[in-house]
Structure 1
């Protein structure tokens, strides 16, 4: 203590001697009268001149600079003269370096970041001579590293980081200090367990995978989720046991338990048996296998009917199945159901497509949907009358051509066969290209892939009989070759339309297209702005407001049309009838070729055709 006190006194004495004559101007300062009565700062020293006994100059101290006049500290403005002993002591502030430790939320990583020590010293600013001198200071900043390996380790320990410390990094950080955050310690993660695994050996495993299309895009509605049939004794699934996980350790030294192993269980319902020793699921009957996951339990059934427990949506994917289908929920937008048997939907159908070769029952609403029952029978049936009409016209054409080309008048003319054929088409057989263009249009409007034989025949007819193409023909045998093809096509179409009549039963339909090879029954509210094409009878117990019905049978409607005259059309063939309990003006009725638009409201309407193919109407007027 004594030595330190002596050292302190010596330092103070030297500073006083250094600044003893601080108020005396240097030798190079001019002695003119302009400096008299002023104080100034030059090279960090304060100078005062007051030789002519003028007004004494003043000095005002500032922050970070302590002003001493005759060894007494002054805190505010003071008058001075050149005889005073003036001394200024400036401050120095020093901040030690810092070590920051942070641990990740999962405690698997610890980071350190170091910062240098900082020393800030203040120096007087030079100022010109002035009567009232206000001292000013400028800081100078110096940074240096004072971090040691021991200080880093101590800070890690203070933050309870004791495991997985990277000592090489600490040594390197001391030798090459830097401001970046560094990974100082790493824990070990627990090793995950191997969960139990269940392999399902029939198509449509759970969950289904989206279909990758040829262009690389993904069809999320085609999940291949619904399986085909299986035979008795078929192995449907097998369970493989997993293994436990291994614990890890965090940077604080604590154990991290592994995740729980997931155990799976096999359960059998209808038509299956579980072999617990082999952990296998086996079918005991032939049928359609179904798998369902409830928590960690896999349920298996073999059913004669495919049952969709909930909605048909993106989670289930489209349903394509050889057999009957029953949907307990709704069918959502964009989805497709296709079956070779009956289809029953307990809910509603929204903006979907239903294609079946059996009956269709929808218990609730059908909105913006296409429903087809009986396959493509109704569409192929539209080709038959056109092909038959075309065949008859071609037969008449060949008879006329055969007569003309052997007539003595034409034998003397230099008229080519193609020219003769074109003239005959223009004069007498204009229907031939019309029939052909109708066939082409009908084929182009199909929403499914037509038989190749039909497409090729239509294209050949277009290239032969439309426009100026008849000029290319050279002899009548080129026309005769079409008759065997027409006979084969007629047989093919009859086979496609010889399927059983399939019915559609609905409660309500809006903006939909309904096609059935058999009858159609709308038993609820009615039918709004929809198109119905039926191979049998059509019965709408409620309202038909807008849209069109084309039926090969009889049509019965509760109320047709609306008071604003929305277009409502009903068509049946000759020999069938249309019956309406109440109709608004604007409703159009067609029986055979006879057509009638109602111009007033009427009750109990009955429309048929008489022996002269004229439309016969009976009704009760409305007041």
Structure 2
């Protein structure tokens, strides 16, 4: 029986030498198996271990032994001499100069003219005489050859991130994998390339404890989503999982007004077949009595704080009170809750963002003509004209204007609506004075606000220079510096301020006191009569903030918007901040500008039309050469059921003139800013 021992040493060679000494044999008299290779590390090392088996004496000749190895392999393992019927009849010459792999074991048989080679690549370790070999090497029968397939494991990669708002915690995960390799058999060949078969298995070794521990390290305590964590633990694909979510604050409610009376008409005006308007529904307008409580102001309610993923409180958005202004015929009681009418009339509400103003509009009914005998009519309320309005006469109302007769060579202005039953001839009519005023204020404030910001930026830069003395502020303030900047760099600023002050003063009866106060503050800033008003940039910054707030307020449209409805207009000018509707024969040589949509049921012959919200026309143009121009912004369309040649349309900055008559036209601007006609 063969004798076997196990030997240890600092490396494989040392272990073999110690084993040979114990057995008192030479290296050629034992079979050597490496059990464990040595390992050297910074904190931990291990010894090499080998198993030595003493060979039994064989009664064979040296020549027989030379041939025996490959034949023994062929007899006890699957034969590669597949072309031979009897594997025992193979000759030693069939294996000479070749190497082969069988059952994960590498064999070699050199010849007098050929020494076989083997090539090892990634994933395989070849030990030649107990030493690792890389790349290509020659091997002989007497070499101790050992092949090992290497397994490879890549662990799961993951991390946890928190968004900038601290409201979402994201677990990013890329599952790992394990590659198992198996050495593939290779037929005898002079040059053998060791091949392996790979099996890849996905591994997700992330644990619930790993995630929770990391969340704890980051200080994330609120809104942890256990379900999302569990999904991340079983995923086999890269993914993002929201493992913790903060709680958004619940906003409170802004202040609001509970109206206790009807504020809108119960029915709309009815148009008759001939294009005129039926006024028999006037009685559906709401009205209130003196002393009647018409509304209640409700204060804002507080919201509920939220919480981010770190458990920090998030305050809710500040709720704001309603800004109420009592107009004509209205009083707010001392409790600042009840809104009471002090006059009889029609309640009229104007809203702009959080600001609301309600007035009681009386109604003036003029049963005759407006002429030299009656004089011009100016009224703070609604006006109803039962007769005609003669040349060079004016009707001006803060509310609505109702016209039963013709308007010939006159001027009609309404705060909100104009509703006409007859013709508008050679006249100027306009509706929406408050909206038009606010639009003008908005345009000026846009420039004023921008330049004021630039002035503040310039002041801040100059005060930081070495040449500027801080004591100058204390003695003279910043007004000299402001005046210098205006004189040298912002030369148009004083004229803008002057225009703004003029417009606000002109419309003071329609604007709230806040506008008047602001215009005075702007005017005072650059007045030569005021000394040391602005000693630092703080007050200047406050004025800029105030200007910004009013500019944003001016961007909010007034409600309700204005409108004009008439059946027929000839050689007139119509201006309205809202919609314009011509319900009868149409318009002839009339200029129409409206901030809303223009609708004409009849014909449009000549004139210039501009509508901010697009147009819808029945028939446009004329064959006798009278020019008709229709204009809209670039984002609007022009709809015409019939258009004559010679008619010009303008969409944005692009112009198109029709060369022939067309029907059912829809004109619009493309993204490339070319007009297309459908």
Task: Mark the structure with the bigger radius of gyration.
Answer: 1
Q: TM-score, normalising length from structure 2?
A: 0.42
